[in-house]
Amino acid sequence: MTPTPKILEAVMDGRKDNNILFIDLQKLLDVLGFSHRTKGSHSIYWQDGIEEIINIQPDGSKAKAYQVKQVRSIILKYALKF
């Protein structure tokens, strides 16, 4: 598993969206304080004060690129930090 600052850097970079491990994206959302539940292959994340609900699912061992983009936009929109 990748250290959290490196995961955040990769997600925010935008050039590595196809290469983010699903487990790393989950770890980042957990560290950012999101609550979650799992239903089948879907992991659903939410947080008080954030309108959007994040629904992610793996593509093999990787996160789906469009879902990485969604997470990045939420981090930017709400200026999330850990």
How confident is the model over 32-55, as pLDDT tens digits? 999 999 999 999 999 999 999 999
Domains of the chain: 4-78 (3.30.920)
pLDDT-derived band at 24, boundaries 50, 70, 90: very high
**What per-residue confidence (pLDDT) applies to 1?**
66
- Kindly state the percentage of the chain with pLDDT values over 70: 99
9-31 mean pLDDT: 96
Q: State the residue for tokens 């955040």.
A: 8
**58 C-beta neighbours (distance < 10 Å), count:** 17
Mean pLDDT estimate for the chain: 96
Distance CA 66, CA 81 (A): 21
- Mean local confidence (pLDDT), 54-77: 97
Task: Express as a percent the part of the chain with pLDDT over 90.
Answer: 95
